[in-house]
Amino acid sequence: MHRARLNGIRKVMSERGLNAFLVTNMSNVFYLSGFTGSTAAVVVTSEAAYILVDPRYSIQARMECGDGIEARDYTSVSTVEAAGQLINELKSDVVGYESENLTVASLRRLRRTTGAQVKLRSTVGKVEMLRSVKDAHEIALIKHACGIVDSTFDIIVREIKPGMTESEIALLIDSTMRRLGAAHEGFSTIAAAGINSACPHHSPVDAALSDGQFLKMDFGAEYQRYNSDITRTIFIGKPTDKHREVYQVVLNAQMKAIEAIAPGKTGREIDAVAREYIASCGYGENFSHSLGHALGIDVHDGPGFSKSSNIVLEPGMVITVEPGIYIEGWGGVRIEDDVLVTDTGHETLTTADKRLIRK
Ligand SMILES: [Mn+2]
């Protein structure tokens, strides 16, 4: 598995004329090597691949990285200096690095270690591009993570009642995900009631739920390094016609966008399906973010559906679909599912109830 991934990056290297590639983004390190620790670097050449770790991780790296990658320890230097020393030893003279990850200070350190004879080439999103199409193993893990959030919603929605606070609901969600096998939450859980629901990324506070409010909950489970991400909005008390209308517009937009997902479509086309529908209902100004993001090792795993997204959908991509309508001083609704692009169209991986639930 990792050998095939390393070969994927070698193909990119030969296209770019690189004879070594330095990987410092830790999600990319995990993808290429299987290493789950917090600090390491991977150096890939046409023939070999190395993972550089400090003594805290020596044993772990040897346990986790097998297929086609050699673990090496370093001491008394920084990770990037250790990488520079290895590059010198390998006599690689054109080396790609991940410019979205390597800090300016680290790049200077790398340059000092390798000297002027080594050409350092900035690259952007090379491993991320490989990661965008998931293999069967990855899809199985994402599906498992989706199962955890689906079951979590089913359980917590029964326990929610007026008087509970946003913080209590977030804690309930987090503990339920853990109980169901999540390693931890994929990101800080959002529980936003009433006017707070108009903020797309509100942090839970000690405000108690009361009648006449939307309650928007956005949460994700990480399972064996892969993520799920779901949003559901429910209602406390009896919704007005306006609450029902806004909810239905978001739900229709979401379902129309999911229905349009198929190989060959672009990210921008799918975004437009939801955005144009919401605009046609008079809420265009209230859908302020992009429609969805790729999902995988990272919760935000790469580009997805947005006004400017040029990605062309391929089977194996997993992308969220999460339109929303946010009205300042009134409230907001978002509904989010995780969708796999298949050979023939799509498969929705999160299946929790999307009818407007009242509590
Ligand atoms: Mn999301």
Q: What are the tens digits of pLDDT across the range 169-225?
A: 999 999 999 999 999 999 999 999 999 999 999 899 998 999 999 999 999 999 999
Any idea what DSSP says for residue 204? P
Q: What mean pLDDT do residues 238-262 have?
A: 98
pLDDT of residue 207: 84
Q: What mean pLDDT do residues 261-267 have?
A: 98
In which order are the strands placed within the sheet that holds 230-236? 190-193, 213-219, 230-236
> Class for domain 2-131, per CATH?
alpha beta
What is the C-alpha to C-alpha distance for residues 76 and 81, in angstroms, rounded to an integer?
A: 10
Centre of ligand 1 from the C-alpha of residue 79, in Å: 32
Share of the chain above pLDDT 90, in %: 97
Centre of ligand 1 from the C-alpha of residue 293, in Å: 6
The identity of residue 344, as a single letter, is T
Centre of ligand 1 from the C-alpha of residue 113, in Å: 40
Centre of ligand 1 from the C-alpha of residue 139, in Å: 17
Q: Residue 315: beta bridge partners?
A: none
Centre of ligand 1 from the C-alpha of residue 190, in Å: 11
| Average predicted confidence (pLDDT) for the chain | 96
Q: What mean pLDDT do residues 122-127 have?
A: 96
Centre of ligand 1 from the C-alpha of residue 10, in Å: 31
pLDDT of residue 67: 78
What is the C-alpha to C-alpha distance for residues 69 and 90, in angstroms, rounded to an integer?
A: 15
How many Cβ atoms from other residues are within 10 Å of residue 104's Cβ?
8
Residue with tokens 């006004």: 307
Centre of ligand 1 from the C-alpha of residue 319, in Å: 9
pTM: 0.95
What is the C-alpha to C-alpha distance for residues 169 and 147, in angstroms, rounded to an integer?
A: 19
User: What is the dotted CATH code of the domain comprising 136-348?
Assistant: 3.90.230.10
Q: What mean pLDDT do residues 279-302 have?
A: 97
Show the tokens assigned to 332. Answer: 């907001």
Q: Where are the domains of the chain?
A: 2-131, 136-348
Three-state secondary structure call for residue 8: helix
Q: What mean pLDDT do residues 254-279 have?
A: 98
Instruction: pLDDT band for 66, please (50, 70, 90 cuts).
Output: confident
Long-range contacts of 344-349 (CB under 8 A, 24+ apart): 344/262, 345/261, 345/262, 345/263, 346/258, 346/261, 346/262, 348/258, 349/142, 349/143, 349/146, 349/228, 349/318
Centre of ligand 1 from the C-alpha of residue 320, in Å: 6
Centre of ligand 1 from the C-alpha of residue 65, in Å: 30
Centre of ligand 1 from the C-alpha of residue 172, in Å: 20
Q: Is the pLDDT of residue 287 over 90?
A: yes
